[in-house]
Chains A and B, each alone.
Chain A
């Protein structure tokens, strides 16, 4: 059915990449235990990567034959600026998460992303971010007791101080 659909920008390249990775993985699966026996640890990996390589090759063949989609551009339909910007921001978030801690990194991420997407004022972005971050924090950190990287904010100490205050008061 893939042949009926028009080829999107970058699709042939992506499929070729999938095929290349599949072939590499097939080679790697062959390295596990080669054709030692049908019950060897490499048997199923070889079968699965072989299936990947064959299907990727078929898809590539069909994709190459299908006509290119008219009016679609890689920078608009495939990887529009917001998607590219967000992919970079996510990586930045993940890198900063451990050194800076959950609260400051998330606040920064939310403010910047809401500002970028909504095109409203910084105050709006900051207010919404603060509200949602508080909700998330209360729900996940306090109710679900999920551990987050503390980073530069000593939130663990603050939390236990607040708990101490309440248990002392009761």
Chain B
């Protein structure tokens, strides 16, 4: 009964209802405007909402998250510029459709599929999270530590151009998270006797710098790319089109939830994998993939929205973020005095059901805003970057200042902005850094607890790890990610692909084009 009431809070309190709706609306536009990302918006928003009560703040952020993941598809379809990384795969078939004058149809099917995917994600979250949380109560400190390492490795290996750079960034994030006083022994770490480093580096400053300023600086490279106008006719897709693609949408939604639920991987990876899956299972698409196949829209869009619900599973049950946005959400919960993890589900189940309710509402709002207001949308998206980029910079500075009213945070933020710009330029992924900062404390505490419980013996620690089934699975997963990135493994994969190509001549050409485009 309490759960139902908590679930309905967002529907019964007009202020929360309005915030979710507003957040989703804003999210659709934030996601759609190239240069504005959901991660950026949520990280800037934390600094502005930290004085609010927890429920309104979370309501707004959930709206933005849900709307933003969907919104990225808009510009991918209309301009061939994915508004968010999770929409990269959408551009592959969405833009060719728009060029043929089917922009409206593409937007319509994308919206409905995002809605379906979103629901599958939320349903899985609602059903699975309580079980995962119960299960998580039996987790040992070493399991948490392994999960954190696994998350960092996953995001490092899949998001960037190489695992080595991903590991570097994850380790850098862990290091940044440990700056300041050690909470257990009050030893100073990386403070260099500077008073300003003793309380650590504000993770909000790091976040806004990496996702706000560095992105804005990168945008300066192609500031004068002109927007292309598209004609939009019919938007709401026919029932027969939706029904025809329902089976595929269910498969890719499931894939999306699973990838979203893995610590460290989110909508962007889910979308690309779903696109690949759709190409494998669709034998006779009406149009070839890459040339406007509807399946090429259905798969990534269901998967990236399903990943939203999925990403909340490890966040709520283990306190381990599912992707960069949930990493920031965890930060927001910390600021509001909540501690995500299995105990949150035991002590404050209402919070969980409130979030589920807010996600459901956001999903409905997304459907509504997605199928309406296209004219306004086209106007806003055409906002020149010459105005947008200075505004992002301004908001980043104000946001960094607002948290502690401290100009030092602004300098940190700018420093990380410039650093992040160069990292991006040279192919380093930024996601693992923020994940590392958020996971630093969890990893450090749990490692020390784990090794203390084995009385400091590394041998006993390893024996404990291989004798517990869960730890063993996690440990083997960590090892597997390492091995899968080594040259011998890659050579073996290539040989296997070549063999498969010989037996199925239709496949290699398609696989090749997708790789080139991605």
Contact = CB atoms under 8 A, between A and B. Distances in A.
B119 to A, nearest CB: 31
Contacts of B451: 38-39, 43
A56 B168 contact: yes
Interface string B380-424: 000011110111011101100110010100110010011001100
A52 B451 CA distance: 23
Interface stretch (B215-223, B266-274, B304-312, B336-344): B215-223
15 contacts: A48-B174, A48-B175, A52-B168, A52-B175, A55-B165, A62-B164, A78-B425, A109-B394, A110-B394, A113-B389, A132-B391, A136-B391, A136-B398, A144-B48, A148-B398
Interface stretch (B87-95, B179-187, B293-301, B363-371): B179-187
Given A42-B189, A148-B402, 6 more contacts: A44-B443, A48-B171, A49-B171, A52-B172, A114-B386, A114-B387
Contacts of A149: 401
A25 B414 contact: no
A45 B175 contact: yes
B189 A32 contact: yes
A77 to B, nearest CB: 8
A98 B172 CA distance: 31
A25 B407 contact: no
Contacts of B281: none
Interface residues on B, range: 35 or more
Nearest to B425: A78
A87 B396 CA distance: 13
Given A39-B456, A86-B220, A90-B213, A146 B172 contact: no
Interface in B204-256: 213, 216-217, 220-221, 223
B15 to A, nearest CB: 13
B482 interface: no
Interface string A125-142: 000100010001000100
Given A39-B452, A41-B184, A48-B175, A14 B397 contact: no
A25 B190 contact: yes
B12 interface: no
Contact of A98 (B49, B407, B448): B407
A49 to B, nearest CB: 6
Contacts of A87: 217, 418
Interface string B148-183: 000000000000011011011001101100100010
A89 B221 CA distance: 17
Contacts of B407: 94, 97-98
Contacts of B189: 29, 32, 41-42, 45
Contacts of B187: 32-33, 41-42
A85 to B, nearest CB: 9
A20 interface: no
Interface residues of A, number: 60
Contacts of B178: 44-45, 48
B51 interface: yes
B390 A117 contact: yes
Interface of A: 1-2, 5, 8, 11, 14-15, 18, 25, 28-29, 32-33, 37-39, 41-45, 48-49, 51-52, 55-56, 58-59, 62, 78, 80, 82-83, 86-87, 90-91, 93-94, 97-98, 102, 106, 109-110, 113-114, 117-118, 128, 132, 136, 140, 144-149
A44 to B, nearest CB: 4
A43 B171 contact: no
A128 B190 CA distance: 44
B506 interface: no
A146 B426 contact: no
A80 B222 CA distance: 11
Contact of A55 (B164, B390, B456): B164
A44 B398 contact: no
Given A11-B426, A45-B189, A148-B398, A52 B171 contact: yes
Contacts of A45: 175, 178, 189-190
A144 B60 CA distance: 12
A43 B448 contact: yes
Contacts of B452: 39
Contact of A18 (B168, B220, B387, B421): B168
A51 B167 contact: yes
A87 B421 CA distance: 10
Given A28-B192, A59-B165, A90-B417, A8 B175 contact: no
B395 to A, nearest CB: 7
A27 to B, nearest CB: 11
Nearest to A50: B171
Contacts of A33: 187
Nearest to B166: A55
B101 interface: no
A102 B358 CA distance: 34
B458 interface: yes
A51 B458 CA distance: 19
A140 B398 contact: yes
B397 A93 contact: yes
B401 A86 contact: no
- CB-CB nearest 7 A-B residue pairs: A118-B386, A117-B386, A113-B390, A55-B168, A41-B182, A51-B171, A48-B174
Given A41-B187, A94-B397, A97-B407, A83 B387 contact: no
